[in-house]
Chain A
Amino acid sequence: DVHLEESGGTSKQPGGSLRLSCEASGFTFSSFSMNWVRQAPGKGLEWVAYINKNGETTYYADSLEGRFIISRDNAKNSLYLQINRLRANDTAVYYCTRDLLLPTGRLCDSWGQGTLVTVSS
């Protein structure tokens, strides 16, 4: 079974930095692109970033203003998200998702349970 487990969520002050991790198992990690998706408390889902199979291509949501960096280590079956210059509105549950590519399109087909990031002074 596909399993994604996020970690690294914690409480931080505005302006700080944080690195989230996602450990994957149950599938060949290096064969799939991956995403981070976040959900602020009581709000909807917001896509954050995408990284392709070998890590050479990345895409980010425009709203992030260059503060986020997605990366991966295929040897460790792990996905990462570095968040710099934290803001209060970065407070959210961050989900790691597997990207499934079909002939007709793509979707986030598997999700971890999420890790909570709280930004507050």
Chain B
Amino acid sequence: QSVLIQPPSASGTPGQKVTISCSGSGSNVGKNPVTWYQQHPGAAPRPLIFNFNQRPSGVPERFSGSKSDTSASLAISDLQSEDGAHYFCAAWDDRLSGYVFGGGTQVTVL
């Protein structure tokens, strides 16, 4: 059972908007920035969103993040076929002195 809770799956058609939630607690999401990762099969995770809503260079503007209290969300606008992947949220947990991850959400582009 993962510390951060994500829905196991989400889907949309090309051009639609998909939103993924990540629910935590006061010692992790409520206190520290959330990072969102994208992982394609056989590849390492890559950061998509960090420090609340910053994108590393090369990540399209279609990806955006938000946070409210102990929950965070990742939005994918204008869904593209290459967005089909697993998405994980993560945050440092001050009580555990370590990173905690969500269980991951499989995004399917219909």
Contact = CB atoms under 8 A, between A and B. Distances in A.
Contact of B33 (A35, A102, A108): A102
Task: Determine chain A's interface SS by DSSP, over half rule.
Answer: strand
Interface string B34-65: 01010000011111001110001000000000
A35 B99 CA distance: 9
A82 B56 CA distance: 32
Nearest to A60: B98
Sort chain B's interface into a size bin. 20 to 34
Contacts of B99: 35, 37, 47, 50, 108
A59 B101 contact: no
Given A62-B96, A105-B51, A105-B92, A44 B35 contact: no
Contacts of B35: 107-108
Interface stretch (A20-28, A71-79, A84-92, A109-117): A109-117
Contacts of B46: 111
Given A105-B33, A108-B35, A111-B46, A46 B51 contact: no
A102 B35 CA distance: 12
B52 A59 contact: no
B51 A44 contact: no
B33 A107 contact: yes
B98 A61 contact: yes
Interface of B: 2, 32-33, 35, 37, 43-47, 50-52, 56, 88, 90-92, 96-104
Interface of A: 35, 37, 44-47, 50, 59-62, 95, 102, 104-109, 111-114
